[in-house]
Amino acid sequence: MKANLKEKTLFKQKSFPCSQCGANLTFCADLDALKCSYCGAINQIKPPPIPIRELDLNSALKNLDVYEYKREKENREFKCPSCAATFEVDWHIRSTRCPYCKTPIVTNADIFMPLAPKSILPFKLNQKDAKEIFKKWVGSLWFAPSSLKNIYDSPSSLRGIYLPYWTYDSNTHTIYQGRRGVVYHDRVERVVYINGREEVVEDIVERIEWYPVSGEVYDSFDDVLIGATKTLPRRLSDALEPWDLENLESFDERYLSGFDSEIYSIALDKGFEYAKEFMRYKITEHVRYDIGGDRQEITNMQVYHSNSTFKYILLPIYTAHFEHNSKKYRFAINARSGKIVGERPYSKTKIFFAILVILLILGAIFYFGDFDQDFSQSNAPYINISPHGASFEIRF
């Protein structure tokens, strides 16, 4: 936990010069190191061997309640150290590239926040590999607009970005009340009429005997992952799991060089509320199992959390968006595993022509089916036998 923002602490930006030629270094996913885009020199990243620690959640939340900090939500103006151009970026952006000369710029924007990331998963996939994954995914989509290929054809279409996440650990103790249902079958007689006669038949009817139950269960949760950004919808950020969190590295800002990155926009307490929703879903499954029987009803469930901890981490993704018919669709790739998720558009034109082709095929089938039937009827053998049996005629 950082102290209050000091008056002498200034917002800074910087890049990482090559030790050989002075050009700007960017992080290379293939080498897990900084690479000079000019002379090709490799500069290794050796963060200090600081263990990845879980921080106490309750203590952090108490400190946040009394924390005084300046959270600026206005766009900031950057000045490129290479071409001297000035440009604006959103308040939550910590690192980016100059839009004019592509020079990587890393800032200390987290000084405006009470918490800073302590660990990071570096990029493992390069942009070329990510584009191939995206290309295959697009190719598997039925009725996708043809213009969708422009995303992977464009050299800057897929943006590499580190997004902020919270992880939460918690031990839970749950007290519940409910009912256990036991299914049994009963024979019930009913009257039916068969051929106008009244008869009595037996039916087997399923019934449930309910019994009141109560109990308690204990569950432990480890690394419940919650996206701390509003840039990517939660349904997409959640779908990018799993992540190899066992390979987290101590945070080093050199990993950010050449990529965009964000500071968190979903607060620690709000993230824990999302995490508790996930935990409650898992706890409910445990409670149903504990109730047993054939059916379960939960009338009350009180969950108590203890030993709750958290981590603030950065995870790497490639992301892009596509506009079709004035609607925006987002895509994202897990830059560690290559898993891709997205909101897909449909081409109404392709769907129209597909339906048209199907109708034409069906029409042709019916047409030639009727033609064959008419042909067979018109060319069927014809036999004419005289009623007196003296003559007959056979025509084909």
Overall pTM surpassing 0.85 (yes/no): no
C-beta separation of 17 from 259 below 8 A: no
- What secondary structure letter does DSSP report for 17? B
Measured between alpha carbons, how far is 15 from 26 in angstroms, rounded to an integer?
Answer: 9
Measured between alpha carbons, how far is 116 from 1 in angstroms, rounded to an integer?
Answer: 8
Length of the chain: 396
C-beta separation of 340 from 137 below 8 A: yes
Please give the helix or strand (H or E) that residue 280 lies within, else none: helix 268-291
CA atoms within 13 A of residue 382's CA, in its CB half-sphere:
7
176 token code pair: 């519940």
- Residue 364 burial (CB count, 10 A): 10
Paired residues of 199 in beta bridges: 192
Digitized pLDDT (tens) for each residue of the chain, 396 residues in all: 444 444 445 677 888 888 888 888 899 999 989 998 888 889 888 777 778 899 999 999 988 865 555 555 667 788 888 888 888 888 888 999 888 888 888 988 887 788 999 999 999 999 889 988 888 887 776 666 666 666 556 545 688 999 999 999 999 999 999 999 999 988 888 888 888 788 888 888 889 999 999 999 999 999 999 999 988 888 888 999 999 999 999 999 999 999 999 999 999 999 999 999 999 999 999 999 999 999 999 999 999 999 999 999 999 999 987 776 777 778 899 999 999 998 766 656 666 666 777 777 877 777 776 655 655 555 555 555 555 544 445 444
